[in-house]
Chain A
Amino acid sequence: MNGNSRFGRMGLLAGAIALMTGAVWATDPKVEITVKAQKEVVKIDAGGKKSVTLAAAKDAASGDVLVYTLRAANHGTGAAVNPRIEDPIPEGTVLLLDSVKEDGYGIEASLDHGKSWQSFPASMKRVSATGAMETVPAPPESYTTLRFVLDGPLAPGAGRDVTFKVQIR
């Protein structure tokens, strides 16, 4: 029978699939993200001088400051467009507002677990002592989530770090 032509058709199909996947590979961004937790170790020398070093935060005590470094790196073959890193403030900690600084990325904050967003630092409405509505800076413990909006696309092989600190309650 016409075994050849059948094989040829199958070969054509396989080639087309190979071509298609090959085309996807060529432009596919694959961003991976890691979180590194470190704790601040404060030492006071004999002269009363304070120095802060960082240590791995496998364990930590109440009141300790944790430094989180979030790294987004593009392991893919295409650019990752509009990359945003979203990170909930871990349970049992309070965000240190001073530690949140724009550095090649914009920062947005949520006070309601990501339902709504505003630019950092966030504010909130409340009823003042006189009964009028007033807008006040959101206290550190009201922050639930941070979002880091990276400037520009992440090219293949490119990575970005963002960092912030929390204090363990």
Chain B
Amino acid sequence: MIKTFLSWSLPAAVLLGLAVAASTPAMAVGTRAGTTISNSATVNFQDVNGNPLSATSLPAVTTVLQVAGALVDPDNAQTMTPGVTYYYSHTVTNTGNFDDTINLTAASSQTWAVQIYRDNGVVGTYEPGTDVLLTDSAADADALPDSGLLINDTSMNILVAVSVPPGTPNATVDVTTVTGVSSFNAAGTDIARDTTTINAPTVVVTKSVDQPTAIPGATLTYTITVTNTGASAANANVLTDQIPANTTYVANSITLDGVPQGDGNADGDSGEYIAGPPRRISVTLGNLAAGAPARTVTFQVTIN
């Protein structure tokens, strides 16, 4: 007997735990719209001779109204480099008490290109061809992209594609808001925010000359420094500088970080003089990691 009781009690305890968890004040799972809540009471009594009698009331009936509810979760944050598209994953839930259609829109605070995909494949991963752009469904036919028919208390997955334009400056912050609105009642709405912070290279070039004033025939040395003060690598850097008018380039005068460079194009080093026009020097610097030491280029000209 005890054994039977215990084996019954264990699942009961588990059920009890679930029931308590489900009874949090904010009831996500609402009684479905149109359900009738009926209350009928019975009174039992006796007459003076102890004969049992009873009466039952007519039911008091309350019909549950249709209440819209939408939930878009979670808020995301991501660090990205320019020229890249990131796919933010969200869950859209119909928290109303009837089968609804939730319109979904996304807007970037930087007015970047954003698109919403129905996440049909692996949740959170964009799979071309499988995950398709969200469109308006016949469920509400209001020309706004939507969830399609979403049974109450069920969810769908979406991906919000945020495309960072090439050349976006370092430390730019974009907040893309993803809004879900019940097509039955706009009061059923929720917003999720995707915050994108840009890690971009910032290449700073300075140039100085050793003599602020000079006479014809004098030799001037120009010093150019190139640094990446940004948050990500700047790749394939090439420095070019035109030879000023009224000056003549001093042959083989280019140095890179103190190392002399030949003027030829195919001489195996990084520097090159190009007769033009325009006359110019070109130095291939390659990749500059964020915060890497400055590269220094010098060259000389004589005043005509």
**A contact residues vs B (CB 8 Å cutoff):** 27-37, 39, 57-63, 66, 68, 70, 72, 78-88, 90-94, 124-127, 133, 139-142, 154, 168-169
On whether A82 and B37 interact (CB within 8 A), knowing A31-B53, A133-B9, A139-B19, the answer reads no
The 3 closest A-B pairs by CB, nearest first: A62-B30, A37-B60, A80-B45
Interface mask (B22-62 → A, CB under 8 Å = 1, otherwise 0): 11000101110001011111111111111001011111111
CB distance from A117 to the nearest CB of B (A): 13
| Interface: B275 (CB within 8 A) | no
The smallest C-beta distance from A4 to any residue of chain B, in angstroms, reads 38
The answer, yes or no, to whether B208 is at the interface (CB within 8 Å) is no
Which of under 10, 10 to 19, 20 to 34, or 35 or more describes the interface residues of B? Answer: 35 or more
**Which residues does chain A contribute within 8 Å of B9, judged by CB atoms?**
125-127, 133
Assuming the contacts A62-B31, A168-B37, asked whether A33 and B57 have C-beta atoms less than 8 A apart, the reply is: yes
- Chain B residues contacting A124 (CB-CB under 8 Å) are 16
A38 to chain B, nearest CB (A): 9
Point out the residues of chain B lying under 8 angstroms from A125, CB to CB: 9
Quick one: closest A residue to B42, CB to CB? A86
Pick from B63-71, B168-176, B288-296 the stretch touching chain A: B63-71
Q: Can you list 25 A-B pairs with a CB-CB distance of less than 8 A?
A: A27-B47, A27-B49, A29-B47, A32-B55, A36-B60, A60-B62, A60-B64, A66-B37, A66-B62, A68-B39, A72-B43, A78-B47, A80-B47, A80-B53, A83-B43, A84-B43, A85-B41, A87-B39, A91-B37, A92-B31, A94-B23, A126-B13, A139-B20, A141-B22, A142-B19
Measured CB to CB, the closest approach of chain A to B261, in angstroms, equals 75
Nearest-Cβ distance from residue A100 to partner chain B, whole angstroms: 14
With A84-B43, A92-B31, A127-B13 known as contacts, the answer to whether A34 contacts B57 (CB < 8 A) is yes
Query: Chain B residues near A90 (CB, 8 Å)?
Result: 37-39
- 12 more contacts with CB within 8 A, not counting A86-B42, A86-B43, are A27-B47, A31-B45, A33-B42, A34-B57, A36-B60, A82-B45, A85-B41, A88-B40, A91-B38, A126-B12, A126-B16, A139-B19
Residues of B within 8 A of A139 (CB): 16, 19-20, 23
Minimum Cβ distance to chain A for residue B31 (Å): 4
Contacts of A37 in B (CB 8 A): 39, 60-62
A142 to chain B, nearest CB (A): 7
CB neighbours (8 Å) of A169 from chain B are: 27, 29-31
Chain A residues whose C-beta falls within 8 Å of the C-beta of B29 in the assembled complex: 169
User: Which residues on the A side are within 8 Å of B23 (C-beta)?
Assistant: 94, 139-141
| Residue numbers in B under 8 Å from A27 (CB-CB) | 47-49
B6 within 8 A of A: yes
Residue of B nearest to A66 (CB): B62
Partner of B6, one of A39, A84, A127: A127
Counting chain B CB atoms within 10 Å of each CB, the highest count among A62, A70, A83 belongs to A62
A35 and B40 within 8 A (CB)? yes
